[in-house]
């Protein structure tokens, strides 16, 4: 069923994830009439509904569980028996998500962004049909259309998601019981975060990674130390293991088959979480009707201003090249809104921080030491251990260290990697210094509150010129 006349806007944004809704909000701030379309009944996309936010809620709750069970007594706190109430544990996560998606809906209303619920597909570059779940269809028109349709979990050919034994992150944020044995395929952020959650709740977790190390983008020393810490927490980590097949078990569950250096490996599991990455999602969008091109990795092809080759059609976030991260999608969204409104948008894609929210966290920005050296750059590296930081000792968070990488000749900051509690918060100041072209000395001479874990960042910056004050 089609509505009679099309509704016309200045901008249609397809996809209400962090890329799309932020783009819509910025465009509305700049005076554009905006329609924001999503096939999900709630706004916020992958990030708020099944990604960043629910995973962080679960990480926080499971951290409290471990603390109550194993660490409260270190602080002289006696709790008695500590038990998991899984339905309540999951309900809290659902409440956090519900609060945030409602907040985004409220913001959309306040900004007079028209929210349209349904699956969008192009009829032409400036015409989009939106089909609601009940089959009704409406047509929207606009001079500018931003595609922000995000990504979906990658499925392996012999590990098709069945939602029961072979699962994606969408399922692993909502298991209705704690699996006895959980195998996680993929040692990246999503696999390690969700693996940590279920391990903390009592699962025997094995991470199977194809590459020689987990968190492959990080320096070898960070990955090695991080691996050791996770192993101490109870995670089994099998690197260099190529998954080759699956034998389903008659009683439920399955055995995952793998190979390392010609040796056969097998891992029995109640559930297998496949977390090997995400693919750009353009299914059903009818991009061919608009004339929009994909690249070799099936991402929407855009130029340096996020324009597709079709005038008026733009693409942002996970559906284009670049790190698949919410904050990157948001910055894309702001810049495109500004470009459309005739303003000077800007994104510095060289400075997108990346964070794994385990405990401790790992965080990075810019060039790592290994990558800098592999590129033949002369660098000075400063390192400072949290074990020598007063606040870290007081908090019982001494695992890990800060690494600052600076150009050997100019002292300009090139990057940082942090393994430690709240590393994701600590990395921000390095990003800010780098954004302004700062040097290690600038960072080292910046006054940091005492006692804070951020003093370890200052000390690592001092260590670049071998002048750390609280290390030998
Ligand atoms: C478990 C997990 C944890 C994560 N944790 C983090 C984290 O901690 N930090 C971080 O930065 N990133 C994290 N991410 C990644 C982050 O979620 C994505 O990078 C981010 O959501 C991308 O935003 P986006 O706006 O490009 O797309 P998405 O958030 O994927 O939103 C796209 C939206 O488009 C809609 N859509 C698609 N096709 C159509 C159509 N044809 N019509 C209408 N609507 C459509 C979808 O329904 C969806 O709501 C995580 C992801 C997962 C899965």
Of ligand 1's listed atoms, the one at least distance from the Cα of 327 is 11
How many separate helices (H) and strands (E) can be counted in the chain?
A: 14, 22
pLDDT exceeding 70 applies to what percent of the chain? Answer: 99
Q: How far from 365 is each of 213, 269, 275, CA to CA, in Å?
A: 19, 35, 23
Average of per-residue pLDDT across 445-459: 98
What pLDDT is stored for residue 323 in this prediction? Answer: 98
Q: Is the pLDDT of residue 1 over 70?
A: no
What residue owns the CA closest to ligand 1's atom 13?
Answer: 52
Would the pTM of this model clear 0.85, i.e. be above it? yes
What residue owns the CA closest to ligand 1's atom 8?
Answer: 52
Cross-strand partners of 363: 355, 418
Gap between the Cα atoms of 2 and 223, Å rounded? 55
pLDDT band with cut points at 50, 70 and 90 for residue 70: very high
Poorest-pLDDT segment among 2-11, 104-113, 374-383, 434-443: 2-11
Question: Among candidates 454, 462, 381, 375, which has minimal Cα distance to 415?
Answer: 381
Question: Among candidates 376, 369, 469, which has minimal Cα distance to 413?
Answer: 369
Ligand 1 midpoint to CA 315 (Å)? 14
Q: Is the pLDDT of residue 71 over 80?
A: yes
Gap between the Cα atoms of 430 and 412, Å rounded? 12
Is-catalytic flag, 75?
A: no
Q: Is the pLDDT of residue 6 over 90?
A: no
Cross-strand partners of 86: none
Pocket of ligand 1 (CB under 6 A): 14-20, 37-40, 45-47, 51-52, 55, 119-120, 148-151, 169, 190, 281, 284-285, 317-318, 324-327, 329, 357
End-to-end CA distance of the chain: 75
- Contacts of 376 by beta carbon, 8 Å cutoff, 6+ apart: none
What pLDDT is stored for residue 5 in this prediction? Answer: 73
- Contacts of 260 by beta carbon, 8 Å cutoff, 6+ apart: 238, 240, 241, 242
- Contacts of 383 by beta carbon, 8 Å cutoff, 6+ apart: 401, 402, 403, 404, 460, 463
CB 467 within 8 A of CB 443: no
pLDDT band with cut points at 50, 70 and 90 for residue 472: confident
Gap between the Cα atoms of 450 and 40, Å rounded? 46
Structure tokens at 289: 């009707």
What pLDDT is stored for residue 2 in this prediction? Answer: 47
Question: Of 70, 71, 305, 450, which is the active-site residue?
Answer: 450
What residue owns the CA closest to ligand 1's atom 39?
Answer: 149
Q: Is the pLDDT of residue 222 over 50?
A: yes
Of ligand 1's listed atoms, the one at least distance from the Cα of 37 is 43
């Amino acid at each position: 069923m089609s509505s009679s006349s099309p509704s016309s806007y200045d901008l249609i944004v397809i996809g209400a994830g962090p890329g799309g809704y932020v783009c819509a909000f910025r465009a509305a701030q700049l005076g554009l009439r905006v329609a924001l379309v999503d096939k999900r009944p709630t706004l916020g996309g992958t990030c708020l509904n099944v990604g960043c936010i629910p995973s962080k809620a679960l990480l926080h709750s499971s951290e409290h569980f471990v603390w109550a069970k194993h660490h409260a007594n270190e602080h002289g706190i006696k709790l008695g028996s500590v038990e998991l109430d899984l339905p309540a544990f999951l309900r809290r996560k659902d409440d956090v998500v519900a609060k945030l998606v409602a907040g985004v809906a409220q913001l959309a209303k306040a900004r007079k962004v028209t929210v349209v619920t349904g699956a969008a597909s192009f009829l032409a570059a400036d015409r989009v049909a939106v089909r609601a779940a009940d089959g009704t269809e409406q047509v929207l028109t606009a001079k500018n259309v931003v595609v922000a349709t995000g990504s979906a979990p990658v499925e392996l050919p012999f590990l098709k998601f069945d939602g029961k034994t072979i699962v994606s992150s969408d399922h692993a944020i909502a298991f209705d019981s704690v699996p006895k044995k959980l195998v996680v395929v993929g040692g990246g952020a999503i696999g390690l975060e969700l693996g940590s959650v279920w391990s903390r709740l009592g699962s025997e977790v094995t991470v199977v990674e194809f590459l020689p190390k987990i968190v492959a983008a990080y320096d070898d020393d960070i990955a090695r130390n991080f691996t050791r810490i996770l192993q101490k927490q109870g995670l089994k980590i099998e690197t260099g293991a190529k998954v080759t097949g699956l034998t389903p078990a008659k009683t439920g569950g399955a055995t995952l088959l793998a190979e390392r250096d010609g040796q056969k490996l097998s891992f029995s599991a109640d559930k297998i979480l496949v977390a090997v990455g995400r693919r750009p999602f353009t299914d059903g969008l009818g991009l061919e009707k608009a004339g929009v091109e994909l690249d070799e990795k099936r991402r929407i092809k855009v130029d340096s201003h996020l324009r597709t080759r079709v005038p008026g059609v733009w693409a942002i976030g996970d559906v284009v090249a670049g790190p698949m991260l919410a904050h990157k999608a948001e910055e894309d969204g702001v810049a495109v809104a500004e470009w459309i409104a005739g303003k000077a948008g800007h994104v510095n894609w060289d400075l997108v921080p990346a964070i794994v929210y385990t405990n401790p966290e790992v965080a990075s920005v810019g060039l790592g030491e290994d990558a800098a050296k592999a590129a033949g750059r002369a660098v000075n590296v400063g390192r400072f251990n949290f074990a020598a930081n007063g606040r870290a000792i007081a908090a019982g968070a001494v695992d890990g260290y800060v690494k600052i990488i600076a150009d050997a000749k100019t002292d300009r900051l090139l990057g940082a990697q942090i393994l430690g509690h709240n590393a994701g918060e600590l990395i921000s100041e390095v990003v800010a210094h780098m954004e302004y072209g700062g040097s290690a000395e600038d960072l080292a001479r910046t006054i940091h509150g005492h006692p804070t874990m951020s003093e370890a960042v200052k000390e690592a910056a001092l260590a670049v010129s071998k002048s750390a004050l609280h290390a030998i």
